[in-house]
Amino acid sequence: MDIADYNARWLQAWTDKDVDRLCGFYAEDCDYKDPQTPAGLKGQEALRAYLTGLFAATPAITYTPDETWPIPGGFCGRWYAEFEHEGVKGRMRGFDLVILDGDRIALNEVYVHQLPA
């Protein structure tokens, strides 16, 4: 698998706020964690509900891949995100730990921090 291509297509689905396409990247019994869900979510349906609410509540965000590193069973990827909300611009840098089951994400842990605008 070309992890840089996989990561770029996955981040584009995040940018597009495309819940169906995003869920297609995840295994049915996936584990997902981000700063807003520190206890995590289990399963594609829980992830789908979370993403639907998240995307309705957040401004447009553009995710840009930076680097990927293969690891046993998956990859790590660093990315940048830019957004604007009520005239205020924001930037974030993020990092994903991704464990794959075939070509589907079985585990995704997301780490982010704000950057100066």
Q: What is the pLDDT of residues 27-66, one digit of tens each?
A: 999 999 999 998 999 999 999 999 999 999 999 999 999 9
- pLDDT bin (cut points 50, 70, 90) of residue 15 is very high
User: What's the one-letter identity of residue 106?
Assistant: A
Q: What is the pLDDT of residue 86?
A: 84
The Cα–Cα gap between 47 and 22 comes to: 10
Contacts of 95 by beta carbon, 8 Å cutoff, 6+ apart: 76, 77, 78, 79, 110, 111, 112
Give the model's confidence band at 78: pLDDT under 50 very low, under 70 low, under 90 confident, else very high: very high
pTM over 0.75: yes
Give which of 41, 34, 38, 40 is closest to 58, Cα–Cα.
34
Q: How far apart are CA 72 and CA 50, in angstroms?
A: 28
Count of other CB atoms within 10 angstroms of residue 113: 9
Mean pLDDT (the chain, rounded): 95
**Residue 27: what pLDDT?**
98
Average pLDDT over residues 66-75: 97
Q: Which domains does the chain have, with CATH numbers?
A: 3-115 (3.10.450.50)
Contacts of 2 (CB under 8 A, 6+ apart): none
Q: Residue range 79-100: average pLDDT?
A: 93
